Amino acid sequence: MIRVLFVGDVVGKAGRLALKAGLEPVVDREQIDFVIANVENAAGGFGLTIAVMEELDDLGVHVWTSGNHIWDKKEGIPLLDGLPNLLRPANYPEGNPGRGWCVETTATGVKVGVINLQGQALMAPIDNPFHKVDRVLEQMKDKHPDLKLIIVDMHAEATSEKQGMAFFLDGRVTAVLGTHTHVPTADERVLPGGTALQTDVGMTGPYLSVIGMKPEKVLERFLYNTPRPFDPAKKGLEMRGAIVEANEDTGLATSIRRVKVPIG
């Protein structure tokens, strides 16, 4: 058996503090073999920078995933070509920097593939993730014929689209784990074909907030219907995510459970 820890969207400095405080104890206690974390919001709540990646580099995360906010800080975009284990959604059009999938290896020599996708519903136009994932799976298997374990970060707004992707890939990947909404869902399960699903694993960051931002700024936007700058919150730190246990011979999940680690 192999255990994969997937950490939800790391939001701002508070999220980085939560990740640094919460990750090692969970990895040790749960005997985690492979770690994935979404960092599209890690720099000030929007995007990524070189300094932030240097800060997080020694935490033992095998693969970093992202989403639509990965483009928000232009100084971080070169990282997409520079770091082979930093992903952006695979279904952005060809010609964009970076890559949408990779294969890394555990300390015991087990290969784990990771695919990053982005949804279409209620989000900016992007290529169809259902069509794209079929092509990505073909590419992965061509380059790594022995690959069994595949984790998908489905970065999307609509719960139906995330659940739909899990059923579309049931039996073909180990897990489909949702990100983007920053609100953890309680629908974790293993589908009939052996693919684990959680619609959204939640965020890693300040939960005394509105999806990571100070409530007063968000409320101003709701009250007055005019733009307001968001300000990342700092209180109520938690690391959220999911642990997927899988059979390394078949690549199919045997269990999934939510992770909630209060910090301080």
Supply the pLDDT for residue 247: 98
Q: Is 182 a catalytic residue?
A: no
Residue 99 lies in a domain: yes
Domain count, the chain: 1
**Active-site annotation holder among 62, 69, 180, 182:** 69
Residue 149 lies in a domain: yes
Longest dimension (CA), the chain: 56
Token pair for 87: 């992903």
**Distance in angstroms (rounded) separating the CA atoms of residues 137 and 72:** 28
Supply the pLDDT for residue 264: 74
Residue 201 lies in a domain: yes
Domain that holds residue 45: 2-259
Alpha helices in 57-195 (DSSP H): 79-82, 129-143, 159-168
**Distance in angstroms (rounded) separating the CA atoms of residues 131 and 122:** 18
Average pLDDT, the chain: 97
What CATH number does the domain containing 230 carry?
3.60.21.10
- 3-class DSSP state for residue 55? helix
**Distance in angstroms (rounded) separating the CA atoms of residues 136 and 175:** 15
Token pair for 119: 């949804």
pLDDT, tens digit, 9 for 90 and up, residues 56-68: 999 999 999 999 9
Token pair for 185: 């869902």
pLDDT, tens digit, 9 for 90 and up, residues 78-92: 999 999 999 999 999
Residue 264 lies in a domain: no
